[in-house]
């Protein structure tokens, strides 16, 4: 029988507990169980962020809990995040807010987020604490790591760009945090001839790189660099860089050494795509006794029908090459470009040689460049023929799934903070959220 609600007076008293309204299997219950021990060990580090004078400041733990909700559930707007925490009972419970507790205003929340944490490494400490929790839960084996980078669009218009030599950073409208960080980094960083000078800069976020990687439209962007343990795809380190291959490859060294130094983990093998297969990086990995499960970046194969470098035999003991006719190619030992040795044949051997039209038709003698890290490149080529290498190639897809899940389910396609430190903070929070969800999925 259909009836009409006739009561016209609300109850005077309610017996209500937020905890009773959050389902037992709710994701935030599991994340809360995982994050509670993390915050217990960080209260001392959080102390400097509490104000001892003036109006009560926003509790840093409350801010971080709210940000975890936002990054776990794809709530990118700070205004909307504050509204959702005010309305959602599960969110209130996770943030330790009762029904009568006020949620921070979005403007105060934004001001505190931009001002209190950007100069600290608090989010890095929380990230590493979560990684240690994953280690304690047996989710990290430390045998095989994978590294990759994904393009995240910067909070900078692609329609506003300037040449570096035309930039006037003294203008009042250019006095921003992102510009100050960029100029400070330029002064502190030693010049590196291997890094190309950017063609254009963003006036609002000059640290972002002008890129068209991943078949996207040309845009200003940052590189989200993940280092994962391939067993359960746990993110063991994260680094923010401009979206340039050079910076992304270089950041891998930083992440590997930091993971070893701070967490005591050093992998036996590292998987990556061809962009990481440079001689310098492969040589560094071999020197660190990490097996490079990485395809070699090799451009020695000729497409014009002439003989390639693989047609010449290298004698390591004699440090010479032998051509198909048995003639010797020697080097002076002088480095070209700082990374390459040039081996030359004698023109007296090449001129009468019957293979000259297929070997060096346009030069008097044949020359072969050899990377100073060619031994490491050869080792990587040998590993590419093993079953372990093929398994690493298959497992490396897990890091690509991490990026896909972040963009599809978390709405993480564009940054909301500017500057390298802004990208760093957002990337740390994204990695914290993904690791917490992975840890929560293992909890009963």
Render pLDDT for 168-226 as a digit per residue (tens, 0 to 9). 777 877 788 888 888 888 777 766 666 777 888 998 999 999 987 655 678 999 999 99
Helical residues (DSSP H) of 351-386, grouped into ranges: 356-359, 374-383
Q: Which of 94, 115, 251, 126 is nearest to 177 (CA)?
A: 115
Render pLDDT for 361-375 as a digit per residue (tens, 0 to 9). 889 999 999 999 999
Report yes or no on 443 lying in a domain. Answer: no
Confidence band of 54 (pLDDT split at 50, 70, 90)? low
Render pLDDT for 57-84 as a digit per residue (tens, 0 to 9). 678 888 899 999 999 999 989 999 999 9
Question: Given this model, what pLDDT does residue 216 score?
Answer: 64
Q: What percent of the chain has pLDDT over 70?
A: 90
User: Do 161 and 251 have their domain in common?
Assistant: yes
Q: Which of 52-61, 118-127, 217-226 has the highest mean pLDDT?
A: 217-226
The gap from C-alpha 69 to its chain's centroid, in whole angstroms, comes to 21
User: Do 264 and 406 have their domain in common?
Assistant: yes
Query: Are 238 and 229 in contact, with CB atoms under 8 Å apart?
Result: no
User: Do 156 and 262 have their domain in common?
Assistant: yes
Question: Given this model, what pLDDT does residue 394 score?
Answer: 93
Report yes or no on 286 lying in a domain. Answer: no
Residue 172 CA: distances (Å) to CA of 45, 62, 119, 285: 36, 35, 23, 46
Q: What is the mean pLDDT of residues 235-260?
A: 95
User: Do 161 and 253 have their domain in common?
Assistant: yes
Question: Given this model, what pLDDT does residue 335 score?
Answer: 82
Task: Quote the CA–CA distance of 321 and 368 in Å, as a whole number.
Answer: 8
Task: Quote the CA–CA distance of 174 and 344 in Å, as a whole number.
Answer: 54
Return the minimum-mean-pLDDT range out of 18-27, 107-116, 159-168, 286-295.
Answer: 107-116
User: Do 256 and 154 have their domain in common?
Assistant: yes
Question: Given this model, what pLDDT does residue 57 score?
Answer: 67
Question: Given this model, what pLDDT does residue 426 score?
Answer: 94
Report yes or no on 414 lying in a domain. Answer: yes
The answer, yes or no, to whether residue 428 has pLDDT greater than 50, is yes
- Give me the residue label for tokens 């993940």: 226
Query: Are 236 and 139 in contact, with CB atoms under 8 Å apart?
Result: no
User: Do 341 and 415 have their domain in common?
Assistant: no
Confidence band of 424 (pLDDT split at 50, 70, 90)? very high
Q: Is residue 92 classed exposed, middle or buried when 0-12, 13-18 and 19+ CB atoms within 10 A define those classes?
A: buried
Question: Given this model, what pLDDT does residue 13 score?
Answer: 59
Render pLDDT for 267-326 as a digit per residue (tens, 0 to 9). 999 999 999 999 999 999 999 999 999 999 888 888 788 899 889 999 989 999 999 999
Q: What is the mean pLDDT of residues 99-114?
A: 84
Return the minimum-mean-pLDDT range out of 1-15, 240-254, 269-283, 424-438.
Answer: 1-15
User: Do 109 and 157 have their domain in common?
Assistant: no
Report yes or no on 240 lying in a domain. Answer: yes
User: Do 244 and 322 have their domain in common?
Assistant: no
User: Do 31 and 66 have their domain in common?
Assistant: yes
Report the domain count for the chain.
3
* β-pair type (269-271, 144-153): parallel
Report yes or no on 170 lying in a domain. Answer: no
Q: Write out the H or E segment, with its range, that includes residue 40.
A: helix 27-40
Residue 187 CA: distances (Å) to CA of 34, 184, 190, 239: 41, 5, 8, 21
- Give me the residue label for tokens 């002008």: 210
Q: Looking at per-residue confidence, does 442 or 6 come out higher?
A: 442
Q: What is the mean pLDDT of residues 410-418?
A: 91
Helical residues (DSSP H) of 307-386, grouped into ranges: 347-350, 356-359, 374-383
Backbone angles phi and psi of 279, in degrees to 5: -60, -40
Q: What percent of the chain has pLDDT over 90?
A: 58
Question: Given this model, what pLDDT does residue 51 score?
Answer: 62
Helical residues (DSSP H) of 120-273, grouped into ranges: 122-136, 177-188, 245-263
Query: Are 281 and 308 in contact, with CB atoms under 8 Å apart?
Result: no
- Give me the residue label for tokens 């470009």: 337
Domain that holds residue 206: 141-165+175-185+197-272+396-428
The answer, yes or no, to whether residue 160 has pLDDT greater than 80, is yes
User: Do 268 and 417 have their domain in common?
Assistant: yes
Query: Are 178 and 138 in contact, with CB atoms under 8 Å apart?
Result: no
Confidence band of 52 (pLDDT split at 50, 70, 90)? low
Report yes or no on 4 lying in a domain. Answer: no
* Tally: H helices and E strands in the chain: 17, 11
Q: What is the mean pLDDT of residues 433-440?
A: 94
Q: What is the mean pLDDT of the chain?
A: 87
Render pLDDT for 82-106 as a digit per residue (tens, 0 to 9). 999 999 999 999 999 988 888 988 8
What is the pTM for the complete model shown?
Answer: 0.89
Render pLDDT for 332-371 as a digit per residue (tens, 0 to 9). 888 887 788 999 999 999 999 999 999 998 899 999 999 9
User: Do 150 and 243 have their domain in common?
Assistant: yes
User: Do 26 and 74 have their domain in common?
Assistant: yes
Question: Given this model, what pLDDT does residue 107 score?
Answer: 85
Q: What is the mean pLDDT of residues 225-236?
A: 96
Report yes or no on 107 lying in a domain. Answer: yes
Question: Given this model, what pLDDT does residue 1 score?
Answer: 47
Report yes or no on 133 lying in a domain. Answer: no
């Amino acid at each position: 029988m259909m009836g009409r609600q006739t009561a016209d007076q609300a109850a005077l008293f309610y017996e209500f507990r937020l905890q009773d309204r959050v389902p037992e299997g709710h994701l935030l219950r599991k994340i809360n169980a995982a994050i509670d021990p993390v915050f217990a060990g960080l209260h001392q580090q959080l102390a400097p962020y509490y104000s001892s004078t003036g109006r009560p400041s926003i509790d840093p733990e409350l801010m971080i809990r709210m940000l975890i909700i936002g990054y776990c559930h794809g709530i990118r707007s700070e205004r909307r995040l504050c509204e959702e925490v005010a309305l959602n009972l599960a969110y209130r419970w996770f943030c330790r807010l009762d029904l009568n507790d006020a949620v921070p205003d979005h403007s105060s929340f934004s001001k505190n987020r931009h001002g209190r944490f950007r100069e600290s490494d608090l989010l890095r400490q929380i990230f590493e604490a979560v990684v240690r929790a994953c280690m304690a839960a047996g989710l990290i084996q430390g045998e095989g790591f994978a590294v990759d980078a994904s393009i995240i669009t910067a909070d900078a218009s692609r329609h506003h760009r300037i040449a570096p030599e035309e930039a006037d950073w003294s203008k009042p409208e250019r006095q921003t945090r992102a510009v100050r960080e960029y100029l400070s980094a330029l002064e502190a960083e030693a010049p590196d001839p291997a890094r190309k000078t950017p063609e254009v800069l963003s006036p609002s976020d000059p640290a972002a790189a002008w890129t068209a990687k991943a078949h996207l439209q040309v845009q200003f962007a940052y590189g989200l660099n993940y280092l994962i343990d391939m067993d359960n795809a746990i993110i063991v380190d994260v680094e923010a860089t401009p979206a340039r291959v050079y910076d992304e490859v270089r950041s891998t060294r930083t992440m590997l050494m930091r993971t070893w130094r701070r967490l005591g983990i050093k992998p036996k093998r590292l998987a990556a795509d061809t962009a990481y297969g440079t001689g310098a990086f492969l040589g560094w990995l071999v020197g660190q006794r990490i097996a490079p499960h990485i395809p070699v970046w090799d451009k020695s194969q000729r497409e014009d029908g002439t003989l390639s470098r693989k047609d010449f035999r290298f004698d390591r003991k004699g440090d010479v090459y032998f051509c198909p006719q048995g003639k010797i190619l020697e080097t002076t030992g002088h480095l070209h470009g700082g990374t390459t040795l040039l081996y030359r044949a004698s023109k007296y051997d090449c001129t009468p040689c019957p293979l000259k039209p297929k070997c060096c038709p346009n030069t008097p003698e044949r020359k072969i460049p050899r990377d100073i890290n060619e031994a490491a490149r050869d080792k990587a080529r040998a590993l590419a023929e093993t079953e372990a290498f093929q398994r690493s190639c298959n497992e490396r897809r897990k890091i690509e799934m991490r990026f896909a899940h972040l963009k599809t389910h978390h709405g993480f396609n564009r940054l909301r903070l500017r500057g390298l430190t802004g990208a760093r903070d957002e990337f740390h929070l994204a990695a914290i959220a993904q690791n917490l969800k992975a840890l929560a999925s293992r909890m009963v």
